[in-house]
Amino acid sequence: QKEVEQDPGPLSVPEGAIVSLNCTYSNSAFQYFMWYRQYSRKGPELLMYTYSSGNKEDGRFTAQVDKSSKYISLFIRDSQPSDSATYLCAMSTTSYDKVIFGPGTSLSVIP
């Protein structure tokens, strides 16, 4: 079993839809959870950073962490064509430790 699993997609939604992206993980020691957005041929861009369980909201983005289920989610409201990218979940055990990435989900928002 991989440490971090993520549906690779591709996921295609109409503009304005709510997008739900998810990851599951196996290492219960993970405490720091991140979501990155990566456009084609570019480095990843940090979207959300969450410690332990709970929700965090930033504009159209909401990150949820359920440590009991080892499950994290990223919700995008009012999706825009500019949101079309690959979304990578990532996590680490401590704030100083290496980050383990999921394989990424490819998202296309259709105008």
Partner 1 sequence: GAVVSQHPSRVICKSGTSVKIECRSLDFQATTMFWYRQFPKQSLMLMATSNEGSKATYEQGVEKDKFLINHASLTLSTLTVTSAHPEDSSFYICSASRIDGSGNTIYFGEGSWLTVV
Quick note: the x/- pattern for partner 1 over 87-106, rule CB under 8 A, is -x------xx-xxxxxxx--
Residue type, 58: D
Site for partner 1 in 10-49 (CB under 8 A): 32, 34, 36, 41-46, 49
3-state secondary structure of 25: strand
Residue 12 has a CB neighbour count (10 Å cut-off) of: 12
Burial class (CB in 10 A: 0-12, 13-18, 19+), 85: buried
Residue 6 has a CB neighbour count (10 Å cut-off) of: 20
CB nearer partner 1, residue 17 or residue 100: 100
Min. distance of Cβ 56 from partner 1 in angstroms? 12
Min. distance of Cβ 30 from partner 1 in angstroms? 14
Min. distance of Cβ 102 from partner 1 in angstroms? 6
